């Protein structure tokens, strides 16, 4: 299953400048999701992080993983668009976060999310972020889908 940004916005409540997934290239329900974000120098975050030496913040990479994980959870639960519109994903914890290499403007940040555990509305996910097939960040994410 492939999702473009319009379809992503039908599932996630995030909007510019905080929607951090541009496209989903693969979903295997209850297992994995592959997505990406194009990192552009025109993003507001680079005005202050850091002038003259722009680095995409690690917290934004983690948020992108979280959003991709939310997409995987929503798509795995096979809700209608109407049902999904009444739900939201709350992240409960981010553990074992590591940053291995800086992400810069012009990079294509690839997210690989996999399900470690799922029990009802609780999801434990492994998130990995890559640039040019090189691991740049990873974390374990725990989330719950709740009514708005």
Residue 28: domain span: 5-147
Which one has a higher pLDDT value, 82 or 112? 112
Dist. CA 71–CA 49, nearest whole Å: 28
Q: Once rounded to an integer, what is the mean pLDDT over residues 3-9?
A: 95
Question: Tell me, what's the pLDDT at 143?
Answer: 96
Dist. CA 127–CA 140, nearest whole Å: 6
Contact status, residue 104 vs residue 41, Cβ threshold 8 Å: no
pLDDT in tens, 30-65: 999 999 999 999 999 999 999 999 999 999 999 999
Of 14, 34, 49, 53, the active-site residue reads 49
pLDDT band at 20 (very low <50, low <70, confident <90, very high): very high
pLDDT in tens, 114-145: 999 999 999 999 999 999 999 999 999 999 99
Coil vs helix vs strand at 146: strand
- For residue 108, what is the domain's CATH number? 3.10.129.10
Question: Tell me, what's the pLDDT at 84?
Answer: 82
Question: Tell me, what's the pLDDT at 126?
Answer: 98
What residues form DSSP beta bridges with 123? Answer: 118, 143
49 assigned to active site? yes
pLDDT > 80? residue 81: no
What residues form DSSP beta bridges with 140? Answer: 95, 126
Dist. CA 137–CA 139, nearest whole Å: 7
Coil vs helix vs strand at 141: strand
Which structure tokens are listed for 7?
């379809």
Dist. CA 111–CA 35, nearest whole Å: 5
Q: Once rounded to an integer, what is the mean pLDDT over residues 94-116?
A: 98
Q: How many domains does the chain have?
A: 1
Question: Tell me, what's the pLDDT at 82?
Answer: 84
CA 68-2-18 angle, to 5 degrees, is: 35
Write the CA distances from 28 to 6, 23, 83, 112, integer angstroms: 20, 15, 21, 11
């Amino acid at each position: 299953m492939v999702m473009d940004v319009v379809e992503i916005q039908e599932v996630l409540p995030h909007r510019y400048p905080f929607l951090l997934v541009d496209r989903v290239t693969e979903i295997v329900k209850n297992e994995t999701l592959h997505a990406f974000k194009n990192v552009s120098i025109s993003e507001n975050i680079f005005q202050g992080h850091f002038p003259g030496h722009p680095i995409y913040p690690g917290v934004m990479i983690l948020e992108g993983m979280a959003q991709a994980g939310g997409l995987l959870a929503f798509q795995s639960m096979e809700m209608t668009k109407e049902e999904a519109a009444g739900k939201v994903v709350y992240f409960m914890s981010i553990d074992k976060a590591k940053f291995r290499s800086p992400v810069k403007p012009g990079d294509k940040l690839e997210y690989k999310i996999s399900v470690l555990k799922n029990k009802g509305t609780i999801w434990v996910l492994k998130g990995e972020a890559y640039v040019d097939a090189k691991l740049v960040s990873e974390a374990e994410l725990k989330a719950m889908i709740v009514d708005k």
